Chain A
Amino acid sequence: MPTRAAVSIGHLRVMRGGNEVLPDLSVEIPARSVVGLLGPSGSGKSTLIRSIVGVQRVEGGRVEVLGLPAGSKALRSRVGYVTQAPSVYGDLTVAENLHYFARVLDAAPERVGHVVDTVDLVGFEDRLVTGLSGGERARVSLATALLNEPEVLVLDEPTVGLDPVLRRDLWNTFRTLADGGATLLVSSHVMDEAERCDHLVLLREGRILATESPPQLLATTGAASMDAAFLALIERDAQQ
């Protein structure tokens, strides 16, 4: 299926704390797909994600989401964002958190029950978030972003600390959302999650190492696993 880019970035330059985190980054994120943003910690994944959702101050370059400048008012109800640390209110219950964000996003109240089911938190609605485990809290945070069915969903390491069954279920959810027409950009530093993506963006020290599909990546590197493929790319990069 021919797809236009959901996110288009040209010559993005970002400084954080006096360091050039992203020196000159250009990339296209194809629409209606699950795109994995992979790279070791400190490679600039979160900074790139923050630039796409429009909360990162940037030095220069172009970031467009759905054809509009990142952070535009018109995008605020079309782009969902899940931060790395669960950003929900600890002193509210699961349901109170979701009802509040549903009001802010102008989503129907029935969506609350739906997203609770999606992230497998049925029965936890009346529990205070502060009393939940790390993984449960991450799921509340994820549920918040699903409330208004955004066209672009940007998730910063959403599966950290989750058990394998739940991780599989969430990746299935991401797949369902993409099949329904959404674009998902999911960052991870776990290479085995790469196989579940349609496209991969491999980042290292603020630069793009490769943008390929998982089979392409294995073919070009001749590696047997995603881990080995990524290591091969790093070694090739270091030699250049």
Chain B
Amino acid sequence: MSGRVAGATAVRVLTQLRHDPRTVALLIVVPCVLLWLVDAIIDDAAFQRVGLPLAGIFPLVSMFLVTSIATLRERMAGTLERLMTMPLAKVDLLGGYGLAFAAVATVQALVVMTVAVGALDLEVAGPLWVAGLLAVANAVLGMALGLFLSAFASSEFQAVQFMPAFILPQLVLCGIVAPRSTMARPLELLSGMLPITYAYDGLSRIASDSTVGARVYADFAVIVGFTLAALALGALTLRRRTP
């Protein structure tokens, strides 16, 4: 592990994003517009219930997409193969990506939260900083999942299709569409195994409960656990030797 290489990689990834202002604008603006749309079409009580979880789950989705494409590009452009012949540990590369996208996710989460609370009158019962922390954790989870799944895509078309194939079912099952307790038992059990369920649960509790209970800590721990597991599996898919 080398701070030099991880730091250099983070700076490199952020520089790549800086050369692509449209992507940065989409990352920041799209979640705000979507949240505004949701606020416009549902009644206020419903918005108070789903607004915060949605605001905290958008970063997960966009980071998933950005990371899976970025990693796929790295594999296809040959830069990954070149880096693998250089004095660089896999954790340096993963750490660099993690740092860069966590920084972007923090900005994204802060903007979305500010819009939600400031402009859309979203009321958050619990502490705002905990909501922000959960949103950033979700974004980093999205990054880790994207990094891991990109190993199974051999083209950008496939990588983009992983979003509806892998993320949308989780959104349907996480409890935002219907409470988990009303689901058929097998689906409820399945949703308990999916990471986004915990991302939703933590945020919805913060939205309605002024105290940060043990369940929120547990949700946070599960999110971090899924993130570390996805990064570890992602590291396994970065092979120095390929067929």
Contacts and interface: CB of A to CB of B under 8 A. Distances in A.
B78 A83 contact: yes
Given A76-B86, A83-B78, A89-B77, A57 B243 contact: yes
Contacts of B9: 100, 104
A89 B12 contact: yes
A77 B87 contact: yes
B168 to A, nearest CB: 29
Contact of B87 (A54, A85, A104): A104
A58 B85 CA distance: 16
Interface string A78-89: 010101011111
Contacts of A105: 86-87
B5 A103 contact: yes
A91 interface: yes
Nearest to A17: B243
A13 to B, nearest CB: 13
B198 to A, nearest CB: 34
The contact size tier of chain B is 20 to 34
The contact size tier of chain A is 20 to 34
A33 interface: no
Contacts of B15: 92, 96
Given A79-B85, A105-B87, A106-B87, A54 B79 contact: no
Contact of B242 (A57, A76, A104): A57
A56 B242 contact: yes
Contact of A54 (B4, B77, B85, B88): B85
Interface in A60-109: 71, 73, 76-77, 79, 81, 83, 85-92, 96, 100-101, 103-106
Given A89-B79, A92-B16, A55 B85 contact: yes
B153 interface: no
Contact of A81 (B20, B82, B88, B242): B82
B12 A57 contact: no
Interface of A: 15-17, 53-58, 71, 73, 76-77, 79, 81, 83, 85-92, 96, 100-101, 103-106, 128, 144
29 contacts: A15-B243, A17-B243, A54-B85, A54-B240, A54-B241, A55-B84, A55-B240, A57-B243, A58-B241, A73-B87, A83-B78, A83-B81, A83-B82, A87-B77, A87-B78, A87-B79, A87-B82, A89-B79, A92-B15, A96-B15, A100-B11, A100-B12, A103-B4, A103-B8, A104-B8, A104-B87, A105-B87, A106-B4, A128-B19
